[in-house]
C-alpha cells in the first residue's frame, strides 16, 4: 500500500465562507477516505473528521486555506474536497449523499 | 472571572449558585449529581442524544422533501454535531469524573463551543452560535422532559439570572429560595426591581446580554449596591464579598434592637417611619421592624399576577389582611399605578410611543371607571376594619383630583344605598410626583387630607430621564438641585397649610438623604421595610438643628455629584464613621 502525503492551498470562493454545511460535507468526505486529513485556516488547524474542529476554522470568503492529506487515497481525497469550498450546492449535496 | 455592570435596583450582596433562565423561560438546572447515580445519568444522556438525533433526522427528511435537499443539509450538520464522538467523550468525562449533571454538562460544553464562535469577529460565525444553542435546547428538552419547570418550584437557595422575568414569574417566586436577581433587560421601574426590593434581596437589571456565558450552578456574586454581577469570581474577590456580606449581617443584627425604640432625634423630635409594601405578606416585614404604618401600599400586584381582572373580593382580602396585621396603624392604599400594557384584558394602546407620558395610572383609572370603582369599593369596605387611607397616583391637574374624588364619592353613595359599612371620614390624599402638581400645590392642599412625595417619578419627570433606559440612567439623580428645590417647595407649602406630608420614594429609604430631608422639614418617611432600621438609626443620631445646617448647605450647591458626596460625608460623620 503506497503512503502518500499531499497538500494544496486554495482560496475559499463560497460567498458564505466555510459554513456549517461545508463542514459537514468535508467531514463526510474525510470519513469515507482512508487518509488522514487536515484543514488549515489562518487561525485554526482542524481534523477532517471532527465536525466541531472544522466549525472553528473561521474561514470567510476570500481567505486562503490549506488541505493536507496523508494516506493511500490522499490525492483523490483532495480532488474531492477542493470543489466543496466553491459553495456549489450540487457538490455539497453529492458529498453528503454518498454514504 | 467576569464582571458585568448593570443598574443597581435593590441593595445588598448575594453570593450563590446561579439558576439560569434563557429567553424562553427555560430553566437550566443544578450542577452536580450523586456519585452512585453516574451510570444512570450517563444512560439518561445517551437516551436524550438518541431522541434528539431521531428528531433532527425526521426534521431533515421533512425539510428536504418539502423545500429541497440543500435545506435539509443544515439538519444533517446538526445531526453530525450532536453525534460527534468528541462531544460525547467530553460530556461523559464531565459526568463520570466531575459528577456534573448531564444538563449542566451539556449546557456548559455547548455554550463553551458557542463562545468560541461568538468571539470571532465575523457575523457569519457569530450566527453559527445559534446552531449550537439550538442543539443545546433540543438536548435539554429531552433531558429535562417533564421536569422542565419554571422558577415557581425552587427547592434550594439560588440566584436567578434571566433575560427578563414576567410579572407572574416574579410574583410566584418562593422568597425562601430566591436570594437575588439579575436580568439582562429592564430598569429601576421594572417589576423585577420592585419585587426584589419587596423581598429585600439584591438585584441588578439591564446588564445587557450575558446568559450565554453562564451555566446553571455557576458561582455568582450579585452586588446590589454597585450594580455589579460577577461570574465565577476568583478567590480574592470571593473573600472580599464574603466579608462584606458578613458585615451586612452584623449590621442588621446590631440594628435589630432598634425595633422597639422610638424614631426620635437627639433633640427629641419624633419622626414617623412607615413601610412601603407591594404584597400583603410584606406587612409582616413592617411589623418586624417596628414600622409606624404602611405609607405606601402598591396595588399593582393584584393586576399583574393573573390573566383576569381581580374581583372586588380579591382586592378586599388583600387589603383586610394588611389592615388586620397593622392593627390600627395607618395603611395608605395607592390606587393602581401602571399602564394599560400591564392590565389583563386591556387592548394595547395604538400610539403609546412614550409610556411614561402616556395613558397610565390615574389617567387610565379615570377612563376605565368600572375597573377603578371595583378597587375603590374594596378599599372603602376595608376601611371599616382599620385605619385606611386612599391615595391617588400621578395627579397632574386639579381637575383630575376632583374627578377621582367624585368617583370615590359616587362609590360611597352606592355603598350607603346597600347599607355596607365603611369609614366615611377616611383620609384622601395624592402623590406629589409630577412637577406640575408641585407648582400648583398651594391649590391642591385645600382639597386633600394628606400628600406623599413620590421621588422616583418626580426625578424622572423633572430631569426628563427614562430610568429604565440604560443609556441615560446615569442622568437620573435624586440629588439634582432642581429635584431638591421641588421637594423643598412641596414641604414648605404642605407644612404651611398644615397638611401632613410623607415621602414614599426610594429617596426616603436612602440614608444619605435622611439629614437633608429632616432639615427641610420632613417628619414622615416611608421606605422599603428593609431600610427602616437604618433610617431610624440615623434619625436617632442627629438633631434637627444640625440637619437644618446640612440642608441649608446642600440647597446652596449647584450640582448633584457634589451634593451627593457632601451628604455622604455628613452621614458618615453622624454615624461616627471615619471613611470618606
Residue in A17, A19, A30 to test binding to B, most B beta-carbons within 10 Å: A19
Last residue of a domain, one of B91, B112, B147: B147
Pair B112, B188 in one domain: no
Residues B279 and B410 placed together within one structural domain of the fold: yes
Computed on alpha carbons and rounded to an integer, the radius of gyration of chain A in Å comes to 12
Q: How confident is the model over B274-293, as pLDDT tens digits?
A: 999 988 888 988 998 999 99
**Does residue A25 register a pLDDT over 60?**
yes
- Give the burial string for B183-204 (b: 16+ CB within 10 Å, else e): bbbbbbbbbbbbbbbbbbbbbb
Q: Is B191 a catalytic residue?
A: yes
Contact B532, B252 (CB under 8 A): no
Angle at which helices B369-382 and B398-417 cross, to 10°:
60
The better pLDDT of the pair B431, B16 is held by B431
> A58, B120: Cβ pair inside 8 Å?
yes
Instruction: Establish if B121 touches chain A: CB-CB under 8 angstroms.
Output: no
User: What are the tens digits of pLDDT across the range B241-253?
Assistant: 999 888 877 887 8
Tell me which chain B residues have a C-beta less than 8 angstroms from the C-beta of A15. Answer: none
pLDDT tens track for A32-45: 999 999 999 888 89
Share of chain B above pLDDT 90, in %: 52
Gap from B63 CA to chain A (nearest CA, Å)? 14
Domain that holds residue B488: 261-574
Which candidate from B73, B80, B122 shows the least CB-CB separation from A93?
B73
Say if residue B535 is in the same domain as residue B556.
yes
Query: How high is the pLDDT of residue B151?
Result: 65
Give residue-wise pLDDT tens across range B28-41.
Answer: 655 677 778 888 88
Interchain contact A42–B (C-beta under 8 A): no
Q: Give the whole-angstrom CA distance, residue B128 versus residue A20.
A: 7
The rounded mean pLDDT for chain B is: 87
Q: Are B274 and B214 found together in one domain?
A: no
How far is residue B194 CA from its own chain's centroid? 3
Q: How confident is the model at residue A96 (pLDDT cuts 50, 70, 90)?
A: confident
- CA B144 from centre of chain: 29
- Is residue B153 helix, strand or coil? coil
Chain A CA closest to residue B77? A24
In a domain, B197, yes or no: yes
Q: Is B125 on the interface with A (CB under 8 A)?
A: yes
| pLDDT score at B579 | 44
CATH number of the domain that residue B312 is part of: 3.20.20.60
Task: With a cut of 60, say whether residue A71 has pLDDT above it.
Answer: yes
Asked which of A57-61, B479-483, B570-574 is least confident by mean pLDDT, the reply is: A57-61
DSSP string, B503-566: E-SGGGG-GGGHHHHHHHT--EEEE-GGGHHHHHHHHTT--HHHHHHHHHHHHT---HHHHHHH
Range with the lowest mean pLDDT among B108-112, B310-314, B334-338, B367-371?
A: B108-112
Q: Which chain A residues have a beta carbon less than 8 Å from that of B127?
A: none
**pLDDT at position B305 over 70:** no
Q: Are residues B368 and B270 in the same domain?
A: yes
CB atoms within 10 A of CB B359: 17
Q: Is B77 on the interface with A (CB under 8 A)?
A: yes
Residues of chain B in contact with residue A27, where contact means CB-CB under 8 angstroms, are 80
Q: Examine the domain organization and report whether B73 and B127 are in the same domain.
A: yes
| B255 found inside a domain | no
Closest CA to B293 of B273, B269, B278, B265: B273
B214 with B356, same domain? no
Answer left, alpha or beta for residue B12, where phi above 0 means left and psi between -120 and 50 means alpha. Answer: left
Each residue of B63-121: pLDDT tens digit? 888 877 777 778 888 888 898 888 999 999 999 988 888 888 888 888 888 887 777 65
Does one domain contain both B350 and B242?
Answer: no
What residues are paired with B525 via a beta bridge?
B273, B503
Mean of pLDDT values over B406-421: 97
Q: Which of B147, B174, B194 is the last residue of a domain?
A: B147
- Domain presence at residue B580: no
Domain assignment present for residue B222? The answer is yes
* Band of pLDDT at residue B580, cut at 50, 70 and 90: very low
| Residue B434: band (very low, low, confident or very high) from pLDDT cuts 50, 70, 90 | very high
Residue B544 pLDDT greater than 70, yes or no: yes
Measured distance CA(B97)–CA(B93) in Å, rounded: 6
Q: Helix, strand or coil for residue B9?
A: strand
Q: Are residues B14 and B117 in the same domain?
A: no
The answer to whether residues B283 and B226 belong to one domain is no
pLDDT at position B69 is: 76
Structural domains in chain A (count): 1
Which has the higher per-residue pLDDT, B372 or A96?
B372
Sequence-distant (≥ 6) Cβ neighbours of residue A99 within 8 angstroms: none
| Å between A93 CA and nearest CA of chain B | 7
In a domain, B579, yes or no: no
Comparing alpha-carbon positions, the chain A residue that sits nearest to B110 is: A52
Most confident of the ranges A31-45, B182-196, B293-307, B533-547: B533-547
Query: pLDDT for B130-159, tens place per residue?
Result: 788 888 888 888 887 655 455 666 777 889
Annotated catalytic residue: which of B191, B285, B286, B315? B191
CATH number for the domain harbouring residue A76: 3.30.1340.10
pLDDT over threshold 70, residue B167: no
Count of domains observed in chain B: 3
Nearest by CB to residue A50, choosing from B86, B120, B125, is: B86
**Cα of B133 to nearest chain A Cα, Å:** 14
> For the CA atoms of B255, B256, B260, B263, what is the dihedral angle to 10 degrees?
20
H/E run at residue B229: strand B228-231
Per the model's pLDDT, the better-predicted residue between A16 and B122 turns out to be A16
Q: Cβ of B89 under 8 Å from any chain A Cβ? A: no
ipTM greater than cut 0.90: no
Q: How far apart are CA A66 and CA B174, in angstroms?
A: 57
- Mean pLDDT in chain A? 87
Which chain A residues are within 8 Å of B125, Cβ to Cβ?
58
Please tell me the least confidently modeled range out of B18-22, B27-31, B47-51, B287-291.
Answer: B27-31
Handedness of CA B464, B465, B466, B469 (dihedral sign): positive
What pLDDT is attached to residue B323? Answer: 96
- What is the span of the domain harbouring residue A14? 4-97
Asked which of B147, B169, B188 is the last residue of a domain, the reply is B147
Task: Return the percentage of chain B with pLDDT > 70, whole number.
Answer: 91
Residue B57 has pLDDT above 70, yes or no: yes
Q: Is A30 on the interface with B (CB under 8 A)?
A: no
Amino acid at each position: 500500500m503506497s503512503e502518500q502525503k499531499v497538500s494544496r492551498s486554495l482560496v475559499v470562493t463560497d460567498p458564505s465562507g466555510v459554513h456549517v454545511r461545508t463542514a459537514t460535507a468535508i467531514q463526510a468526505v474525510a470519513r469515507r477516505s482512508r487518509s488522514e486529513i487536515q484543514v488549515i485556516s489562518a487561525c485554526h488547524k482542524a481534523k477532517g473528521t471532527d465536525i466541531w474542529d472544522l466549525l472553528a476554522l473561521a474561514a470567510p470568503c476570500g481567505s486562503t486555506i490549506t488541505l493536507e492529506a496523508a494516506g493511500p487515497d490522499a490525492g483523490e481525497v483532495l480532488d474531492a474536497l477542493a470543489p466543496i469550498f466553491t459553495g456549489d450546492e450540487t457538490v455539497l449535496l453529492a458529498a453528503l449523499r454518498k454514504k | 472571572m467576569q464582571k458585568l455592570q448593570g443598574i443597581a435596583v435593590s441593595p445588598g450582596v448575594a453570593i450563590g449558585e446561579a439558576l439560569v433562565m434563557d429567553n424562553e423561560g427555560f430553566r437550566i438546572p443544578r450542577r452536580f449529581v450523586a456519585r452512585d447515580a453516574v451510570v444512570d445519568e450517563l444512560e439518561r444522556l445517551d437516551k436524550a442524544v438518541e431522541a434528539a438525533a431521531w428528531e433532527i433526522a425526521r426534521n431533515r427528511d421533512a425539510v428536504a422533501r418539502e423545500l429541497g435537499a440543500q435545506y435539509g443539509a443544515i439538519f444533517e450538520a446538526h445531526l453530525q454535531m450532536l453525534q460527534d464522538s468528541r462531544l460525547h467523550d467530553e460530556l461523559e468525562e464531565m459526568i463520570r469524573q466531575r459528577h456534573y449533571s448531564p444538563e449542566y454538562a451539556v449546557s456548559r460544553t455547548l455554550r463553551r463551543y458557542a463562545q468560541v464562535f461568538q468571539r470571532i469577529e465575523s457575523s457569519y460565525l457569530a450566527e453559527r452560535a445559534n446552531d449550537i444553542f439550538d442543539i443545546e435546547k433540543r438536548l435539554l428538552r429531552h433531558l429535562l422532559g417533564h421536569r422542565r419547570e419554571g422558577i415557581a418550584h425552587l427547592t434550594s437557595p439560588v440566584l436567578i439570572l434571566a433575560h427578563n422575568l414576567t410579572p407572574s414569574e416574579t410574583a410566584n417566586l418562593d422568597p425562601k429560595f430566591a436570594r437575588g436577581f439579575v436580568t439582562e433587560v429592564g430598569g429601576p421601574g421594572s417589576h423585577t426591581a420592585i419585587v426584589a426590593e419587596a423581598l429585600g434581596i439584591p438585584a441588578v437589571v439591564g446588564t445587557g446580554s450575558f446568559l450565554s456565558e453562564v451555566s446553571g450552578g455557576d458561582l455568582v456574586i450579585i452586588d446590589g449596591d454597585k450594580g455589579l454581577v460577577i461570574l465565577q469570581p476568583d478567590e480574592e474577590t470571593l473573600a472580599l464579598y464574603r466579608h462584606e456580606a458578613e458585615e451586612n449581617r452584623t449590621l442588621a443584627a446590631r440594628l435589630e434592637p432598634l425595633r422597639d425604640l422610638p424614631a426620635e432625634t437627639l433633640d427629641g423630635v419624633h419622626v414617623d417611619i412607615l413601610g412601603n409594601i407591594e404584597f400583603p405578606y410584606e406587612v409582616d416585614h413592617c411589623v418586624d421592624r417596628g414600622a409606624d404604618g404602611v405609607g405606601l401600599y402598591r396595588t399593582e400586584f393584584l393586576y399583574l399576577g393573573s390573566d383576569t381582572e381581580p374581583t372586588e373580593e380579591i382586592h378586599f382580602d388583600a387589603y383586610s389582611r394588611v389592615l388586620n396585621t397593622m392593627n390600627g396603624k395607618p395603611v395608605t392604599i395607592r390606587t393602581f399605578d401602571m399602564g394599560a400594557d400591564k392590565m389583563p384584558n386591556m387592548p394595547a394602546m395604538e400610539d403609546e410611543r412614550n409610556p411614561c407620558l402616556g395613558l397610565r395610572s390615574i389617567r387610565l383609572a379615570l377612563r376605565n371607571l368600572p375597573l377603578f370603582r371595583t378597587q375603590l369599593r374594596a378599599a372603602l369596605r376595608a376601611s371599616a376594619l382599620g385605619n385606611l387611607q386612599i391615595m391617588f397616583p400621578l395627579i397632574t391637574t386639579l381637575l383630575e383630583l376632583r374627578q377621582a374624588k367624585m368617583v370615590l364619592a359616587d362609590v360611597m353613595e352606592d355603598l350607603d344605598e346597600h347599607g355596607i359599612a365603611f369609614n366615611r371620614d377616611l383620609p384622601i390624599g395624592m402623590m406629589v410626583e409630577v412637577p406640575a402638581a408641585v407648582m400648583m400645590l398651594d391649590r391642591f392642599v385645600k382639597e386633600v387630607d394628606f400628600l406623599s412625595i413620590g421621588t422616583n417619578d418626580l426625578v424622572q419627570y423633572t430631569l426628563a430621564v427614562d430610568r429604565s433606559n440604560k443609556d441615560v440612567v446615569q442622568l437620573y439623580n435624586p440629588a439634582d438641585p432642581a429635584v431638591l428645590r421641588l421637594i423643598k417647595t412641596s414641604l414648605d407649602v404642605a407644612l404651611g397649610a398644615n397638611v401632613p406630608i410623607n415621602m414614599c420614594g426610594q429617596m426616603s429609604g436612602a440614608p444619605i438623604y435622611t439629614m437633608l430631608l429632616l432639615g427641610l422639614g420632613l417628619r414622615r418617611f416611608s421606605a422599603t421595610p428593609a431600610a427602616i432600621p437604618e433610617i431610624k438609626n440615623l434619625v436617632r443620631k442627629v438633631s434637627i438643628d444640625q440637619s437644618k445646617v446640612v440642608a441649608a448647605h446642600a440647597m446652596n450647591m449647584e450640582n448633584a455629584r457634589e451634593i451627593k458626596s457632601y451628604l455622604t460625608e455628613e452621614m458618615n460623620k453622624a454615624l461616627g464613621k471615619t471613611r470618606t
